[in-house]
C-alpha cells in the first residue's frame, strides 16, 4: 500500500462520494494528525464503520465506480454468477438494507442477456408471497442495469444444505422434506396465479431461512427464465437447467 497515502485516500473518499467533507474532517480530527500511514487511516475508517473491507479494496485499487447504484451504497458482494453479481447495499437516505443485483459489464450490450435480466425484474415485481424473494425496483440503464431485491438474512441454498447433510452422512427427515416441498408448491402456485411459470426451479434457486423458529423457511429466487403462461404455450424454445428439467 506504499504508493497510496492517507491524504490520497481521503480525497478518493470525497471523489467517489463514500464520505462527505464533514465526515472526512471528523476522521482527521479523531486521528489528531494528518501524518498517519494509509494502513492506520484505513484501520480507523473500518473500525468506525465508515468503510467496509470491500470498499477499501476498491479504493486502494483506484476504482472510481461501483460504489453506488442509484440511491444504494454497496457494502460488499454476497454472490456472483455467470451473468450478474449480487451485493449487500444500504439505501443512503432510509438506511434500509437490500440486495442489489447488477448485470455484468460484458452482457450489458447483449440484447438477449439484457432482456433476460430485465424480464426477471419485471416478473419478480409482480409477485408478493412470503416464500418468494421480493423484487422492489429495477433500473434498466444499459450503463449499469440493476434490480433491488429483498435481502435474505442468514439464508443458505437448498443445494448447500443437501451437500452439508451428505458430508455428515445425514438425510432429510421426511417431515422436513414435506414441509419444504409444501412451501415451494405454495410459492409456485402463487406465481402461476399471476400467469407466471418459473422454468428453472433447482436447489440453487431455493433458499432456506430461519424465520420465527422455523429453520427451513423457503424463499424462491431467480425468475430470470420465467415466462407468462401464454408465452410458454407459444414457444418451442427449451429453457432451464438440463439436470432439473422435466423429461
Give tens-digit pLDDT for 50-99: 999 999 999 999 999 999 999 999 999 998 888 899 999 999 999 999 99
Contact between 199 and 226 under an 8 Å Cβ cutoff? The reply is yes
Q: What pLDDT does residue 122 have?
A: 87
Model confidence at 236: pLDDT above 60: no
Contact between 58 and 81 under an 8 Å Cβ cutoff? The reply is no
53-61 vs 38-47: helix axis angle to the nearest 10?
150
Q: What is the mean pLDDT of residues 222-229?
A: 55
Model confidence at 41: pLDDT above 70: yes
Beta-carbon count within 10 A of 45 CB? 25
Catalytic, out of 20, 40, 200, 214: 200
Q: What pLDDT does residue 211 have?
A: 94
124-174 pLDDT per residue, tens: 898 999 999 999 999 998 889 999 999 988 889 999 999 999 999 998 899
Q: What pLDDT does residue 238 have?
A: 38
Q: How confident is the model at residue 227 (pLDDT cuts 50, 70, 90)?
A: low
Q: What is the mean pLDDT of residues 10-28?
A: 96
Strand partners, 206: 220
Model confidence at 244: pLDDT above 80: no
CA-nearest of 201, 223, 206 to 161 is 206
What are the φ/ψ torsions at residue 212 (nearest 5 degrees)?
50, 45
The whole-model pTM stands at: 0.81
Model confidence at 239: pLDDT above 50: no
pLDDT mean across residues, the chain: 88
**160 in catalytic set:** no
- DSSP letter for 41, please: H
Q: What pLDDT does residue 80 have?
A: 85
CA distance 77 to 205: 18
Helical ranges in the chain per DSSP H: 6-16, 21-31, 38-47, 53-61, 111-125, 158-168, 174-193, 229-233
Q: What pLDDT does residue 237 have?
A: 41
Q: What pLDDT does residue 224 have?
A: 52
Overall fold of domain 68-150: Phosphorylase Kinase; domain 1 (3.30.200)
CA distance 77 to 129: 26
The CATH homologous superfamily to which domain 156-244 belongs is: Transferase(Phosphotransferase) domain 1 (1.10.510.10)
What are the φ/ψ torsions at residue 242 (nearest 5 degrees)?
-50, -45
Q: How confident is the model at residue 226 (pLDDT cuts 50, 70, 90)?
A: very low
Contact between 55 and 74 under an 8 Å Cβ cutoff? The reply is yes
Contacts with 30 (C-beta within 8 Å, 6 or more apart), sequence order: 44, 48
Q: What pLDDT does residue 76 have?
A: 96
Amino acid at each position: 500500500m506504499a504508493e497510496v497515502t492517507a491524504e490520497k485516500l481521503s480525497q478518493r473518499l470525497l471523489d467517489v462520494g463514500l464520505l462527505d467533507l464533514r465526515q472526512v474532517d471528523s476522521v482527521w480530527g479523531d486521528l489528531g494528525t494528518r501524518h498517519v500511514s494509509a494502513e492506520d487511516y484505513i484501520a480507523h475508517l473500518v473500525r468506525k464503520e465508515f468503510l467496509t473491507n470491500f470498499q477499501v479494496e476498491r479504493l486502494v485499487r483506484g476504482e472510481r465506480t461501483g460504489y453506488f447504484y442509484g440511491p444504494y451504497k454497496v457494502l460488499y458482494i454476497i454472490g456472483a454468477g455467470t451473468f450478474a453479481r449480487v451485493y449487500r447495499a444500504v439505501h443512503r437516505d432510509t438506511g434500509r438494507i437490500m440486495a442489489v443485483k447488477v448485470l455484468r459489464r460484458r452482457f450489458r450490450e447483449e440484447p438477449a442477456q439484457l432482456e433476460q435480466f430485465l424480464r426477471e425484474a419485471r416478473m419478480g415485481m409482480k409477485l408478493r408471497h412470503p416464500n418468494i424473494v421480493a423484487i422492489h425496483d429495477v433500473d434498466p440503464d444499459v450503463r449499469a442495469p440493476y434490480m433491488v431485491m429483498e435481502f435474505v438474512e442468514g439464508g443458505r441454498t437448498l443445494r448447500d444444505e443437501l451437500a452439508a447433510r451428505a458430508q455428515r452422512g445425514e438425510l432429510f427427515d421426511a417431515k422436513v422434506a414435506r414441509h419444504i416441498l409444501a412451501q415451494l408448491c405454495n410459492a409456485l402456485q402463487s406465481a402461476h396465479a399471476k400467469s407466471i411459470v418459473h422454468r428453472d426451479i433447482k436447489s440453487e434457486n431455493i433458499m432456506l431461512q430461519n424465520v420465527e423458529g422455523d429453520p427451513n423457511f423457503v424463499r424462491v429466487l431467480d425468475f430470470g427464465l420465467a415466462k407468462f403462461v401464454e408465452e410458454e404455450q407459444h414457444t418451442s424454445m427449451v429453457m432451464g437447467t438440463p439436470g432439473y428439467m422435466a423429461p
